[in-house]
């Protein structure tokens, strides 16, 4: 059974990898050749993602489109390079293509030292990203994620900004801890299920007929929740994220915050909750309270930030709380909302990180208190930034709105989660406060003393072509999802509908209306 589309999918991983190898090991490239190779490496996944999205057959619910299975010599463990896309992974695959292309485009024209190495590492990262979301096999799902992480560390250590030494190290250790915990979770899932396979559909089919005991489910889900949680900066395991993003070079921050970080949420959506529903029910109070921690506590911390990049880093941590809440809602609607939120947040945070670097190139500072009035000199930059901030706050018209809206809907659906809506909605006010204040500080008012002194220099100018194009791409994608959220949700709904069990059927949710934190404690014993 030869499927040409499967080859297109495999090539989406291999082409950036190959382009990266060409750039890393070749020498004597001119700027044009370098950009040509990089354009090919970033362009192909984008084209392939859209091509596959159009060929995607939504009728195949429960199965994967464009499947291919290659032996890697670990057959005895049931590990294959098994690729394919379903309704959950397709939107993220597209997201990786779009954000990767935008980040690559921006990086091609940035003035990094040793640009061929910089682009090569970004291409390796891109290859890993495409692989993560195209993997059906949970071994390779993890494998590609780690493969994309290594370039992140090196890029931060080499091309990062202030404090990169400690930031890269803290991020490395934190993320390794998260990755090891989730690896343990995945391995324990493999071992305890007895399915003798790392393939997700096979595990799912096997677990459907041989469900795990409640203790096992709870233990494994705990490993996955905290492992993935660390990778997605779940409160209080978030401290690596703002510092890491603040010191990361722009392209890296865009790819990591925009796409790679979604790995953990994707793992919970695709693997954790569908395979271990009882475990999820067990950990529900933890997840809900910690997600509220993300929204409220980190939201307040974000308000206190004076540094633009740190503020963006914290705000991205804060918005992850919504995605966690969507998962905690434990329903098809909630999971779909989380998925929408992940895609929209990926686009908006990548755009914001990119624009913040554009602002830095003009003001030479990230200090929000030392800017001002930039709208006069750079109206287009201002427009983009305002639009991106609005999107990130969750205004209608952008994808984020639908994500948050759907998540609130899902929370309000059942009595059990209804209490979460109010504190979660408070988060919107919080993000409006810091978002709008940042816009006001940067673009309006009078420029502060140091900035005013440079006011007439050539550097203070509007967005250039190479900055505009990626910004346009990201903003267009945000608006398209904002207007037609069905592009994402239709396919995801069909898939999620088959995966998510009906919550009311689980014993945890039958008896315990009211205060879930207390019920959670009872369940532990």
- Of all residues in the chain, what percent are helix, strand and coil, respectively (each to 5)? 75, 5, 20
> Residue 142 Cβ, how far from other proteins at the closest point, in Å?
8
- Give 192 or 414: the residue with its C-beta nearer to other proteins: 192
CA distance 227 to 39: 34
Query: Which range, of 154-162, 311-319, 321-329, 497-505, touches other proteins by CB under 8 A?
Result: 154-162
168 near other proteins (CB under 8 A) = yes
Applying the rule CB under 8 A, the residues between 27 and 56 that interact with other proteins are none
213 near other proteins (CB under 8 A) = no
- Give 165 or 306: the residue with its C-beta nearer to other proteins: 165
176 near other proteins (CB under 8 A) = yes
What is the helix (H) or strand (E) element at residue 219, kind and residue range? helix 214-231
CA distance 13 to 68: 13
> Residue 139 Cβ, how far from other proteins at the closest point, in Å?
8
- Give 113 or 459: the residue with its C-beta nearer to other proteins: 113
> Residue 88 Cβ, how far from other proteins at the closest point, in Å?
23
Q: Give the relative orientation of helices 214-231 and 164-193 as an angle to the nearest 10 degrees.
A: 160
Among 61, 158, 386, 432, contact with other proteins (rule: CB under 8 A) = 158
Could you give phi then psi for residue 408, rounded to 5 degrees? -65, -40
Applying the rule CB under 8 A, the residues between 361 and 400 that interact with other proteins are none
What is the helix (H) or strand (E) element at residue 355, kind and residue range? helix 332-363
Tally DSSP H helices, then E strands, for the chain: 26, 2
* Tokens encoding 39: 């354009």
Among 8, 61, 150, 216, contact with other proteins (rule: CB under 8 A) = 150
Which sign does the torsion angle of CA 288, 289, 295, 296 carry? Answer: positive
* Tokens encoding 412: 């309000």
- Give 66 or 143: the residue with its C-beta nearer to other proteins: 143
Number of chain residues interacting with other proteins (CB under 8 A) = 37
Query: Between the CA of residue 335 and those of 72, 130, 266, 314, 418, what are the distances in Å?
Result: 33, 22, 10, 23, 16
142 near other proteins (CB under 8 A) = yes
- Give 50 or 77: the residue with its C-beta nearer to other proteins: 77
- Binding track, positions 179-208, relative to other proteins; x by CB under 8 A: -xx-xx--xx-xxx----------------
Residue 177 burial (C-beta neighbours within 10 Å; 0-12, 13-18, 19+): middle
Applying the rule CB under 8 A, the residues between 110 and 139 that interact with other proteins are 113, 117, 139
Query: Which range, of 39-47, 146-154, 329-337, 430-438, touches other proteins by CB under 8 A?
Result: 146-154
- Give 113 or 458: the residue with its C-beta nearer to other proteins: 113
Applying the rule CB under 8 A, the residues between 53 and 112 that interact with other proteins are 71-77
CA distance 525 to 521: 7
> Residue 124 Cβ, how far from other proteins at the closest point, in Å?
10
How would DSSP label each residue in 240-262?
HHHHHHHHS-HHHHHHIIIIITH
- Binding track, positions 463-482, relative to other proteins; x by CB under 8 A: --------------------
> Residue 24 Cβ, how far from other proteins at the closest point, in Å?
8
Among 39, 61, 157, 364, contact with other proteins (rule: CB under 8 A) = 157
CA distance 494 to 512: 29
- Binding track, positions 416-445, relative to other proteins; x by CB under 8 A: ------------------------------
165 near other proteins (CB under 8 A) = yes
CA distance 87 to 274: 14
Pick left, alpha or beta for residue 114 (phi over 0 → left; psi -120 to 50 → alpha; otherwise beta). left
- Give 74 or 422: the residue with its C-beta nearer to other proteins: 74
177 near other proteins (CB under 8 A) = yes
User: 146: how many CB neighbours lie within 10 A of its CB?
Assistant: 15
Find the length of the chain: 525
Q: Are 149 and 175 in contact, with CB atoms under 8 Å apart?
A: yes
228 near other proteins (CB under 8 A) = no
Could you give phi then psi for residue 490, rounded to 5 degrees? -60, -50
* Tokens encoding 408: 């609130």
Place of tokens 């464009």: 66
Query: Which range, of 28-36, 141-149, 342-350, 411-419, touches other proteins by CB under 8 A?
Result: 141-149
Residues that bind other proteins (CB under 8 A): 24, 71-77, 113, 117, 139, 142-144, 146-147, 150, 153-154, 157-158, 165, 168-169, 172-173, 176-177, 180-181, 183-184, 187-188, 190-192
């Amino acid at each position: 059974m030869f499927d040409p589309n499967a080859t297109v999918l495999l090539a989406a991983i291999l082409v950036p990898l190959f382009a990266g190898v060409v750039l890393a090991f070749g020498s004597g490239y001119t700027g044009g050749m370098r950009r040509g190779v990089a354009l090919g490496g970033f362009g192909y996944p984008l084209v392939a993602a859209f091509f596959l999205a159009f060929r995607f057959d939504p009728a195949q619910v429960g199965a994967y489109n464009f499947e291919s299975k290659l032996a890697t010599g670990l057959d005895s463990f049931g590990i294959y390079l098994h690729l394919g896309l379903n309704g959950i992974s397709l939107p993220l695959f597209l997201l990786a293509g779009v954000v990767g292309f935008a980040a690559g485009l921006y990086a091609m024209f940035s003035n990094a030292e040793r640009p061929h190495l910089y682009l090569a590492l970004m291409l390796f990262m891109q290859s890993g990203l495409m692989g993560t979301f195209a993997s059906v096999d949970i071994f390779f799902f993890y494998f590609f994620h780690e493969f994309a992480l290594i370039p992140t560390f090196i890029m931060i250590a080499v091309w990062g900004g202030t404090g990169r030494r400690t930031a890269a190290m803290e991020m490395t250790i934190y993320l390794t801890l998260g990755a090891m915990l989730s690896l343990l979770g995945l391995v324990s899932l493999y071992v305890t299920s007895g399915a003798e396979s790392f393939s997700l559909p096979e595990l799912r089919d096997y677990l459907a007929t041989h469900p795990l005991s409640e203790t096992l489910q709870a233990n494994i889900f705990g490993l996955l929740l905290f492992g993935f949680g660390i990778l997605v900066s779940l409160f209080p395991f978030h401290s690596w994220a703002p510092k890491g993003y603040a010191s990361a070079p722009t392209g890296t921050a865009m790819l990591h915050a925009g796409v790679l970080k979604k790995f953990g949420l994707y793992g919970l959506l695709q693997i954790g909750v569908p395979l271990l529903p009882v475990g999820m029910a067990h950990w529900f109070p933890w997840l809900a309270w910690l997600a509220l921690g993300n929204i409220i506590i980190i939201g307040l911390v974000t308000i206190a930030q004076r540094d633009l990049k740190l503020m963006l880093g914290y705000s991205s941590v804060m918005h992850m709380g919504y995605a966690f809440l969507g998962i905690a809602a434990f329903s098809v609607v909630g999971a779909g909302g989380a998925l929408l939120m992940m895609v929209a947040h990926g686009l908006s945070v990548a755009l914001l990180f990119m624009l913040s670097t554009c602002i830095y190139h003009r003001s030479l500072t990230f200090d929000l208190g030392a800017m001002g009035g930039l709208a006069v000199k750079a109206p287009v930059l201002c427009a983009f930034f305002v639009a991106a901030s609005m999107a990130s706050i969750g205004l209608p018209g952008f994808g984020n709105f639908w994500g948050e809206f759907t998540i609130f809907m899902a929370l309000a659906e059942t009595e059990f989660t209804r209490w979460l809506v109010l504190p979660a909605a408070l988060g919107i006010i919080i993000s409006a406060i810091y978002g709008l204040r940042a816009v006001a500080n940067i673009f309006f008012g009078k420029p502060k003393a140091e900035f005013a002194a440079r006011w007439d220099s050539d550097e203070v100018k509007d967005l250039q072509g190479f900055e505009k194009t990626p910004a346009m791409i990201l903003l267009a994608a945000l608006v398209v999802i904002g207007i037609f959220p069905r592009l994402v949700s239709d396919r995801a709904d069909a898939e999620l509908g088959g995966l998510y069990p009906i919550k009311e059927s689980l014993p945890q949710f039958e008896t315990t209306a009211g205060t879930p934190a207390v019920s959670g404690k009872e369940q532990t014993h």
